[in-house]
Amino acid sequence: MSIKPLILLPDPVLRRQSDPIERVDDAVLALADDMLETMYDAPGIGLAAVQVGIPRRLLVVDCSREDEDQAPMVFINPQVVASSDERSTYEEGCLSIPDYYAEVERPMQVTVDYVDRLGKQQQIEADGLLATCLQHEIDHLNGILFIDHISKLKRDMVVKKFTKLAKGRSTAAL
């Protein structure tokens, strides 16, 4: 396993629609393991493959608390198939937009179809933090960032800030 470098805003790969995974093989499982290691190292509670520069429909999550054992979950080709009318609001952050947080309102409960590590079709009904995390990561697979759920004014300020930071990083590398 290895820690992968994270792709940061404003990198255009974050806006790319991720491609489906045709079959679960050793390469997909190795990528999932690398993503889990990267997520834990960051630290975060969710990570989509596109955030490590691989636009494939794969994500990992672990919403366990610090005082609990780790509970890693791998979702291949996940898709929200149902969501509640009831809404909840969480303060979200993103490993690809470091140190920026905003309140985002999403459906409180979701049903997600996905393929597991064994290549078996599964379905999970999630609520609370897990529901929010799954929606956030599935958004990544569709080229959507959590800042797309906040006001245009706030979003534009965040994008401008991270574009300026990226230009600073690229000139520092010269």
Active-site residue flag, 86: no
Task: Find the farthest-apart pair of alpha carbons in the chain and give their distance in angstroms, rounded.
Answer: 51
Eight-class DSSP state of 92: E
pLDDT for the residue numbered 168:
83
Pairing of the two strands 121-127 and 58-61: unpaired
Please give the mean pLDDT across all residues of the chain. 96
Q: Which domains does the chain have, with CATH numbers?
A: 12-172 (3.90.45.10)
Whether 169 shows a pLDDT value over 80: the answer reads: no
Whether 174 shows a pLDDT value over 80: the answer reads: no
pLDDT for the residue numbered 173:
58
Average of per-residue pLDDT across 11-20: 97
Q: Is the Cα torsion angle 152, 153, 154, 160 positive or negative in sign? A: positive
149: three-class secondary structure by DSSP? helix
pLDDT in tens, 113-152: 999 999 999 999 999 999 999 999 999 999 999 999 999 9
Whether 171 shows a pLDDT value over 70: the answer reads: no
Q: Which of 113, 107, 123 is nearest to 77 (CA)?
A: 113
Average of per-residue pLDDT across 78-97: 98
Query: Which helix (DSSP H) or strand (DSSP E) does residue 140 occupy?
Result: helix 128-141
Whether 66 shows a pLDDT value over 90: the answer reads: no
Q: What is the pTM of this model?
A: 0.95
Catalytic residue among 66, 91, 92, 137: 137
